[in-house]
Amino acid sequence: MEFIQEEEPEIKKPIIIAAMQDMGNVGSIVINFINKSLKSKPFRTAKVSFPTYVVDNGGHIDLPNESWEYKYTDDLIIFGGGNGQPQDNNELNLLCKDVMDVAEKYSAKFIYTLGGFHTNRVLKNIPKTYVTTTSLELRKQMEKLELDMTPQKSLITGFNGLILGFAKKYGIQGIGMYGELNQPDVPQYRAAISIIKTIEKLTYRKLGNTEELEMLAQEIDQKFRN
């Protein structure tokens, strides 16, 4: 991995929201929405040193753009979004470690991550967001807020799970939020909306109007009806 520092933002004790593309594109949808809504500014870029695949366009190939930005606004650092995440375990670990190094550098007080939660439950356009935490004490605080905790023991793979393990190892409090979805291969805008509202509840701040995401969800509904 290569890490390029483009600016030194003047931020202290921020909350970090970090997520990458996953099931239903939920991680990317939320990160891209927050960046657009809050007009965040880039200050650091993470790039894969060597590609792990190429894109065949039918007779000629392109190299993938495997890079992800750190952005900031006020007391927030937002990382990730974009397309994909490292396919190599070593690079994935290096990326998680870099997020922790950034967290320590700016004395981050909290890390949120997020993604999709595959379920067979009929959602009726109102998916829940399930929450898991880096400690039993933090779990109890979430229960007092009447949030839905992850319902059973399971493995959370990829960046959107592993980053919580790094947070715990580094002694930084972390919360994972995972929005319900039925179809992992289709962009899940309502799962993203559910997560955005959960973040707003936890941070006591408005992240933006989600009407456009709801319209995109309706377009996908229409496509499947046809």
Q: Where are the beta strands (DSSP E) in 65-171?
A: 67-73, 76-81, 110-118, 129-133, 148-149
pTM for the predicted model, two decimal places: 0.91
Query: What confidence score (pLDDT) does residue 172 get?
Result: 95
112-160 pLDDT, tens digit per residue, is: 999 999 988 888 888 999 999 999 999 999 999 999 999 888 778 789 9
pLDDT at 39 over 80: yes
Domains in the chain: boundaries: 2-225
Contacts of 3 (CB under 8 A, 6+ apart): 44, 45, 46, 47, 98
Query: What confidence score (pLDDT) does residue 139 get?
Result: 94
Task: Look at residues 107, 226, 136, 121 and name the one whose alpha carbon lies nearest to residue 180.
Answer: 121
Say how far apart CA 181 and CA 193 lie, in whole Å.
12
169-186 pLDDT, tens digit per residue, is: 999 999 999 999 998 899
Query: What confidence score (pLDDT) does residue 167 get?
Result: 96
Query: What confidence score (pLDDT) does residue 151 get?
Result: 86
56-107 pLDDT, tens digit per residue, is: 989 999 887 788 999 999 899 999 987 888 878 888 999 999 999 999 999 9
Query: What confidence score (pLDDT) does residue 98 get?
Result: 96
190-208 pLDDT, tens digit per residue, is: 999 999 999 999 999 999 9
DSSP 23: G
Percentage of residues in the chain having pLDDT higher than 70: 99
- pLDDT category at 226 given cuts 50, 70, 90 is low
Query: What confidence score (pLDDT) does residue 156 get?
Result: 82
Q: What is the CATH number of domain 2-225?
A: 3.40.50.10900
Between 29 and 48, the more confident residue is 29
Query: What confidence score (pLDDT) does residue 66 get?
Result: 82
Contacts of 142 (CB under 8 A, 6+ apart): 131, 133, 149, 175
Mean pLDDT of all residues in 35-43: 96
